[in-house]
């Protein structure tokens, strides 16, 4: 290709940052082969690094994607949805992309169908390749398979391919997606999408143990951070760093105690860099953090976020714990004394290394390029 084709990537994050972080890693890989525009439907913290040579077009930010939709700007949701649809289609017409990548849809993001279906229909009509980018696990839905059936029908009608960002030896799409109508769209398990590999040392060469406690974006991280602050008082000789996250409510942040040996970081640009000097990690079990600690070999305790309709983290944590890659604490049992006991055990824990494919970003870029080249050859 003499001139890099344009591609359009649609990403929506709401509760945390996981979807956006993964999308930015993918977009960085795509940018080696394409001119990339990301339509971003959530708040983008200033602390989050963006890949070079990447255009980000903000959409009116929405929350409550898995519940009642809310405008993060406090505006009328219906009007914000109309504005988003207009922006999405306007950018599509201006960029004329060779490919459109939608994050999670139609396997999730049903409430955004009003902008995503028209986008995919326009792409199909223009001859653009259409792809869905999906994480390792989908949430379990108690609806007798109706959601999965709708998703399969929509995918068969509007998509050319599905990229599942998982090593199939650990998670396969069919584990969490069971429609009655067979998914006829080609499925590619790309390997896991992680940032740059790091030489994290499981133990610091000198000094006492240092435990880093992180809560992803932080919007639902208050219980873990409070328990960690309480646990710190019971852990002699352990330096504890709490990373709040950009979305941690300000009241939660201000309530954390300022005591000796407890280091508070409001947010960090790069959690991986923070972990390079750590002895152990305590976190929830979102896609990005879980993979970062597993790929590093750092002893890790995961306390998965759990809520009605949100079992993805718990299932990921249980699988990794069964394999000996992490230790797991049930969030229902989370309090200061229990977490202190778990951290003591964690400092003696040696994780089992997992032979997994962490090169999903590069593989995804290659698959997308192959799809575009094939489409160009057919249309030539």
Could you report the per-residue pLDDT of 252-262, keeping only the tens digit for each? Answer: 999 999 999 99
- The answer on pLDDT for 205 being more than 50 is no
Residue 198 lies in a domain: no
Q: Are residues 137 and 18 in the same domain?
A: yes
- Same domain for 187 and 102, yes or no, is yes
User: Is residue 341 assigned to a domain?
Assistant: yes
Q: What is the mean pLDDT of residues 320-338?
A: 97
CA distances from 198 to 201, 283, 358 (A): 9, 18, 12
Comparing 38 with 208, which gets the higher pLDDT? 38
Does a structural domain hold residue 203? no
Kindly state whether residue 205 falls inside one of the protein's structural domains.
no
Asked if residue 285 and residue 188 are part of one domain, the reply reads: no
Predicted pLDDT at 203: 47
Q: pLDDT tens digits for 168-201?
A: 999 999 999 999 999 999 999 999 998 865 544 5
Residues 372 and 314 in one domain: no
User: What's residue 90's pLDDT?
Assistant: 98
Percent of the chain clearing pLDDT 90 (strictly above): 73
pLDDT at site 132: 98
Q: Say whether both 137 and 266 belong to one domain.
A: no
Residue 215 domain boundaries: 210-346
Is residue 219 situated within a structural domain? yes
pLDDT band for position 1 (cuts 50, 70, 90): very low
- My answer on whether 101 and 183 are in the same domain is yes
Q: How confident is the model at residue 371 (pLDDT cuts 50, 70, 90)?
A: very high
pLDDT (mean) for 316-331: 97
Phi, psi of 231 (to 5 degrees): -65, -35
**Does 200 map to a domain?**
no
Query: In degrees rounded to 5, what are phi and psi of residue 101?
Result: -115, 120
> Does some domain include residue 352?
no
Same domain, 154 and 250: no
More confident residue, 287 or 199: 287
The pLDDT value given to residue 196: 67
Tell me: do 236 and 273 sit in the same domain.
yes
**In this structure, what CATH number is given to the domain that contains residue 161?**
3.40.50.2000
- The confidence score (pLDDT) of residue 127 equals 97
What pLDDT is attached to residue 318?
Answer: 97
Of residues 8 and 237, more confidence is placed in 8
Q: What is the pTM for the complete model shown?
A: 0.92
Mean pLDDT (whole number) for 236-241: 94
Does 106 sit behind a cis peptide bond, omega within 30 degrees of 0 on the bond before it?
yes
Q: What is the pLDDT of residue 197?
A: 56
* 170, 221: one domain: no
Which CA distances in Å does 32 have to 27, 273, 365?
9, 24, 8
- In this predicted model, which residue has the larger pLDDT, 78 or 17? 78
**Phi (first) and psi of residue 161, to 5 degrees:** -165, 155
- For residue 2, pLDDT beyond 60: no
* Cα separations in angstroms, 109 against 11, 32, 69, 134, 337: 10, 28, 11, 11, 39
The total number of structural domains that make up the chain = 2
The pLDDT of 90-118, averaged and rounded, is 96
Q: What is the pLDDT of residues 332-367, one digit of tens each?
A: 999 999 999 999 999 999 999 999 999 999 999 999
In a domain, 328, yes or no: yes
Q: Are residues 125 and 69 part of one domain?
A: yes
Q: Do 150 and 261 lie in a common domain?
A: no
Q: What is the predicted pLDDT for the residue at 309?
A: 74
Q: What is the pLDDT of residues 108-165, one digit of tens each?
A: 999 999 999 999 999 999 999 999 999 999 988 888 889 999 999 999 999 999 999 9
Who has greater pLDDT, 197 or 219? 219
Same domain, 157 and 61: yes
């Amino acid at each position: 290709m003499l001139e890099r084709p344009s591609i359009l990537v649609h990403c929506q994050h709401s509760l945390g940052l996981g979807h956006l972080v993964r999308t930015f890693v993918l977009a960085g890989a795509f940018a080696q082969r394409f001119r990339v525009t990301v339509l971003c439907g959530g708040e983008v913290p200033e602390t989050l690094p963006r890949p070079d040579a990447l255009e980000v077009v903000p959409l009116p930010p929405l929350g409550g994607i898995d519940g009642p939709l809310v405008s993060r700007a406090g505006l009328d949701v219906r009007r914000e949805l109309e504005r988003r649809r207009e922006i999405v289609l306007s950018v599509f017409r201006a960029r004329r992309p060779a490919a459109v990548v939608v994050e999670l849809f139609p396997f999730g993001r049903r409430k955004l169908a009003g902008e995503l279906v028209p986008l995919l229909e326009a792409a199909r009509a223009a001859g653009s390749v259409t792809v869905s980018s999906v994480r390792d696990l989908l949430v379990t839905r108690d609806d007798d398979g109706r959601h999965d059936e709708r998703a399969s029908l929509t995918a068969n009608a509007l998509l050319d391919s599905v990229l599942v960002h998982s090593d199939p030896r650990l998670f396969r799409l069919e584990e969490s997606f069971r429609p009655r109508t067979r998914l006829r769209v080609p499925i590619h398990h790309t390997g896991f999408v992680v940032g740059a590999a790091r030489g994290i040392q499981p133990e610091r060469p000198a000094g006492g143990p240092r435990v880093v406690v992180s809560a992803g974006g932080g919007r639902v991280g208050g219980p873990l951070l409070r328990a960690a602050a309480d646990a710190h008082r019971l852990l002699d000789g352990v330096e504890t760093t709490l990373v709040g996250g950009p979305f941690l409510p300000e009241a939660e942040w201000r309530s954390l105690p300022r005591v000796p040996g407890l280091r508070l970081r409001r947010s960090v640009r790069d959690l991986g860099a923070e972990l390079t000097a750590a002895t152990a990690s305590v976190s929830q079990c979102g896609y990005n953090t879980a993979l970062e600690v597993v790929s590093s070999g750092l002893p890790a305790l995961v306390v998965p976020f759990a809520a009605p309709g949100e079992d993805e983290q718990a299932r990921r944590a249980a699988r990794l714990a069964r394999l000996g890659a992490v230790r797991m604490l049930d969030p229902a049992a989370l309090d200061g004394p229990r977490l202190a006991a778990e951290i003591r055990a964690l400092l003696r824990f040696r994780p089992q290394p997992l032979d997994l494919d962490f090169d999903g970003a590069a593989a995804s870029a290659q698959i997308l390029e192959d799809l575009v080249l094939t489409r160009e050859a057919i249309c030539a």
